[in-house]
Amino acid sequence: MRRRIVEGVLMLFVVALGAACNDSPGPVNGADAAPSIHGMAPDFSYTDLEGQPFKLSDLRDRTVIIDFWATWCPPCIFQPTELNAFWERHRDSGRFQVLGIEVGGASVDEIREWAAENDAAAQYPVLTGADEDLARRFGALGFPALVIVAPGGTIHSVHVGLTTLQELEEQVARIHEEPSSG
């Protein structure tokens, strides 16, 4: 119980500071620039910790929530708890897919060790093999970064920093309230 209180206070402190890890040299421009909001999300294909492949374009019928994070990012420890709660609530609906994508170059074993040490194990698929360039192509210039891809493959929103369950619920509700453009 005491650990949860300490974690809660730490999370509030981090959120209050608006903290997000940023290891990038600055904004990306030109051909490497991120697509605009409502532009098509860059496709990717990576495997999860069990070797299961995930390709973004295969998920076009769902709203996809992507958490870009790194093991070297202290605030990234707190995001899996919020995403686990969302995934637990919505996983059986078939309307959503949550993906964690580690972009710091950690191995499968390093990711598992980090999750165990930080009580940050994800209940949703965590993909490996990506790097910060993938995150930048989605507009994520710091970590953790949450990108929401609408059904059909367009980027709906990008948020750098921690996202609460309530904020995530509000974002996905907006997607499902908006009239489709196709």
Contact 41, 149 (CB under 8 A): yes
pLDDT at 16: 37
Q: Between 1 and 142, where is the model more confident?
A: 142
Which SS3 state, helix, strand or coil, does residue 30 take? Answer: helix
What percent of the chain clears pLDDT 70, i.e. is strictly above it? Answer: 77
Tell me the angle at which helices 165-177 and 79-90 cross, rounded to the nearest 10 degrees. 50
Mean of the pLDDT values across residues 154-171?
A: 95
Instruction: Measure the CA–CA gap between 23 and 72, rounded to whole angstroms.
Output: 10
Cβ proximity of 68 and 145 under 8 Å: yes
State the residue for tokens 């532009």: 39
* Torsion sign, CA atoms 177, 141, 53, 77: negative
Q: Is residue 169's pLDDT more than 70?
A: yes
Q: Please say whether the beta carbons of 129 and 49 come within 8 A.
A: no
The predicted pLDDT at position 47 comes to: 96
Name the residue with higher pLDDT: 18 or 89.
Answer: 89
Could you read off the pLDDT of 28-87 as tens digits, one per residue?
322 334 456 678 999 999 999 999 999 999 999 999 999 999 999 999 999 999 999 999
What would the two tokens of residue 47 be?
């495997």
pLDDT of residue 22: 54
Say if residues 94 and 87 touch (Cβ distance below 8 Å). Answer: no
Is 181 a residue whose pLDDT tops 80?
Answer: no
- Alpha helices by DSSP H, listed for 25-107, are 79-90
Domain chopping of the chain, boundaries: 2-177
pLDDT confidence tier of residue 11, bands split at 50, 70 and 90: very low
What tokens were used for 160? 């750098």
Is residue 161 within 8 Å of residue 79, measured between CB atoms? Answer: no
Domain 2-177 has CATH 3.40.30.10: yes
